[in-house]
């Protein structure tokens, strides 16, 4: 029984460190663009899904943020919750 608990804890720890790595790398990817509004996009990675949040001025920037996030190793599913303000 204890061995199962240890395995579950190890799995939880590795997935949380993987989530932190993905969040950090996505934020770095967005910060390294030459588009200032993308530097203010926030992200969260839960249960294998990357959530993008924030607001930008154009649909082009919304899509660009998603494409930059997709470049990060480990990102396979994205929910783009970025609002476009006009």
Q: What structural domains and CATH numbers belong to the chain? A: 2-84 (3.30.1340)
Strand order in the sheet with 78-84: 42-46, 49-56, 78-84
Please name the residue that has the structure tokens 């199962």. Answer: 4
Q: Which H, E and C letters describe 30-59, residue by residue?
A: HHCCCCHHHHHCEEEEECCEEEEEEEECCH
Cβ atoms 31, 5 nearer than 8 A: no
pLDDT of 10 higher than 50 = no
More confident residue, 10 or 77: 77
Count CB neighbours of 82 within 10 A: 22
Mean pLDDT lowest for which of 15-19, 26-30, 35-39?
15-19
Average pLDDT for 40-57: 95
Average pLDDT for 21-41: 94
């Amino acid at each position: 029984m204890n061995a199962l608990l240890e395995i579950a804890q190890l799995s939880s720890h590795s997935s949380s460190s993987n989530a932190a790595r993905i969040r950090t790398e996505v934020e770095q990817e967005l910060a390294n663009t030459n588009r200032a509004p993308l530097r203010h996009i926030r992200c969260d990675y839960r249960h294998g899904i990357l959530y993008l949040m924030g607001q930008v001025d154009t649909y082009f920037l919304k899509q660009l943020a998603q494409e930059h996030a997709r470049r990060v190793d480990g990102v396979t599913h994205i929910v783009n919750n970025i609002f476009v303000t006009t």
